[in-house]
Amino acid sequence: MFWDHDDDKPREECGVIGVYGHPEASLLTALGLHALQHRGQEACGIATFDGEKFHNERHMGLVGENFGGDLHARLPGHSAIGHNRYSTQGKPALRNIQPIFADLASSGFAVAHNGNITNARALRRDLIEKGAIFQSTMDTEVVLQLVARSPKPLMRDRFQEALTYIEGGYALVGLTNKKLIGARDPIGLRPLVLGKIGEGWVLASETCALDIIGAEFVREIENGEVVIISKDGVESYFPFPRRPEAPCLFEYVYFARPDSVVQGRSVYEVRRRMGNQLARENPADVDVIVPVPDSGVPAAIGFSEASGVPFQLGIIRSHYVGRTFIQPTQSGRQTSISRKHSPNKAVLEGKRVLLVDDSIVRGNTSKRIVKMVRDAGAREVHLRSASPPIVHPDFYGIDMAAQSELIAANHSLEEMRDFLGVESLGFLSVPGLYAAIGVERNVEMPQFSDHCFTGCYPTRLVDHMRDESSKERQLSLLD
């Protein structure tokens, strides 16, 4: 798993979009991917079908750097799918960029997905033993291989059969010569929405992608649902036994864009209420509330509202600094970090400052920001996290540190406070997070996947359990 050790944040999951029945499908797809850029900045790709043949372009880097100008001439067609990538399975490489495409017996098939297939390595080994040849190391190709090997005559049935083999959290978009296909995992861990634009249809990870292209939101794809979009409209199928929905809480905490709507809830309003709740649970005697930009802003506003302490922009973030992991040396990475966040001394000097962030993962970036604020003249520095302590890793598409690297999993609150160098430290509680969303947590069957905070994983973790079993065997041999 690729992890940027100079950034505390959980890495983006990936974003997907599909357009059917529009003469400018590739342009709308590129624009939608631009709105979903926050979900993955490592690579991007678009596949289209022009009525006769498929076209597929995949590039390292951002959407705006690769998909502009003569895009419609390069990627013609009335149907398209696109993908923004941050690698969770498969290292950064051109062959691991989605959409992935192959010519099958019935037609060509392109597929892209957001999430993580938790039994992908087990399926991959089985497929290779049966003669399959893989062109990438990403889990998405397992879906392609399963579709290709299905004996069923209809692509709809082949796709649904492939889904019965895979486990984990996923939102998939697929493209054939006649259809746009969408699918969401049985408990709805990863998001997918349906929109309408003119006579055409759109599938996307978030509603913000619909907004930017002028599409009308129709509904969310349900957990466990497969939709087939063709000239006949939208058909819906449920190939799995129905299960209660349990979306990932991190969509509200961090991943979704603030202007998106998830399950009928404004992400911005939920994050603001998280700040309200945080202020009630963890008050502080301070002079000013300062967000850690940009993701801490809504919660900091909520904290200010509930506490009556003024909200100020005490840290200014530059949006024009490249990602720190591409720097070749530690000193280069450190320089980029200092360029990314700058203290606003007029707000900080001589003040008792409360920093509000959306989450704390490893703590290294938080520690540097605290020092920066103190060096700018703050008299006291306090820190609050608008999410509960992250004590367990994710296996469903969030590229997060291993449990041994999670600060809250290995240290007491007092130890974390000392490490971060703050006068006080506080986290939002799990019940408080649910309250901000507007529900009371069902202990027996949580309404959301909150495994990073509770360790209650909603599915089997086949590949992870095999890894753990292998480690145990190796240790026993050493003994």
In the chain, residues under CATH classification 3.60.20.10 are 15-247
- In sequence order, the 6+-apart residues with CB closer than 8 A to the CB of 275 are 298, 299, 300, 301, 302, 303, 304, 305, 306, 356, 386
- CATH number of the domain at 265-441, please? 3.40.50.2020
Q: C-alpha 339: how far from its chain's center?
A: 25
- Token representation of residue 98: 């989605």
What gap in Å lies between CA 81 and CA 61, rounded to an integer?
18
pTM above 0.85, yes or no: yes
Backbone angles phi, psi at 228, to 5 degrees: -115, 115
Q: What per-residue confidence (pLDDT) applies to 460?
A: 81
Note the pLDDT of residue 397.
73
DSSP letter for each residue of 85-122? E--SSS-S-GGG-SSEEEE-SSSEEEEEEEEEETTHHH
288, two tokens: 């000013």
The pLDDT score that the predictor gives to residue 294 is 87
- Does residue 423 contact residue 381 with C-beta atoms inside 8 Å? yes
Residue closest to 63 by CA, chosen among 91, 78, 48, 83: 83
Sheet with 424-427, strands from edge to edge, namely 288-291, 352-357, 380-385, 424-427
pLDDT in tens, the chain (479 residues): 333 334 565 554 699 999 999 999 999 999 999 999 999 999 999 999 999 999 999 999 999 999 988 999 999 999 999 999 875 555 567 888 999 999 998 789 999 999 999 899 999 999 999 999 999 988 899 999 999 999 999 999 999 999 999 999 999 999 999 999 999 999 999 999 999 999 999 999 999 999 999 999 999 999 999 999 999 999 999 999 999 999 999 999 999 999 999 999 999 999 999 999 999 999 999 999 999 998 899 999 999 999 999 999 999 988 765 544 333 344 444 454 566 889 999 999 999 999 999 999 999 999 999 999 999 999 999 999 999 999 998 888 776 668 888 999 999 999 999 999 999 999 999 999 999 999 999 988 999 999 999 999 988 887 777 765 544 444 444 45
CATH 3.40.50.2020 in the chain, residues?
265-441
Residue range 336-347, pLDDT digits in tens: 456 688 999 999
Task: Give the pLDDT confidence score for residue 7 in this predicted structure.
Answer: 52
- Distances, alpha carbon 200 to alpha carbons 62, 71, 214, 338, 376, in Å: 26, 19, 12, 46, 53
Q: Respond yes or no: is residue 14 known to be catalytic.
A: yes
Question: Residue 375 annotated as binding?
Answer: no
pLDDT in tens, 168-189: 999 999 999 999 999 999 999 9
Catalytic: which of 14, 208, 248, 452? 14
Return the DSSP state at 37: G
Q: 15-247 falls under which CATH superfamily? A: Aminohydrolase, N-terminal nucleophile (Ntn) domain (3.60.20.10)
Q: Give the whole-angstrom CA distance, residue 384 versus residue 68.
A: 41
Place of tokens 């990932």: 248
The answer on whether 469 is annotated among ligand-binding residues is: no
Task: Give the model's pLDDT for residue 329.
Answer: 42
Give the pLDDT score at 92: 60
Report residue 408 CA to chain centroid gap: 21
Q: How far apart are CA 302 and CA 142, in angstroms?
A: 43
Distance CA(100)–CA(103), nearest Å, equals: 11
Residue 178, pLDDT score:
96
Query: What is the torsional sign of CA 383, 385, 390, 396?
Result: negative
The whole-number pLDDT of residue 321 equals 59
pLDDT at position 330 is 40
DSSP string covering 328-370, please? SSHHHHHHHHHHHEEE-HHHHTT-EEEEEES--SSSHHHHHHH
Q: Tell whether 358 is in a known binding site.
A: yes
In a 3-state reduction of DSSP, which class is residue 175? strand
Closest by CA to 274, choosing from 246, 247, 245, 295, is 295
CA distances from 300 to 180, 205, 388, 428 (A): 41, 26, 15, 13
Q: Are strands 424-427 and 200-204 parallel, antiparallel or unpaired?
A: unpaired
Q: What's the rounded Cα separation, in Å, for the pair 479 and 17?
A: 51
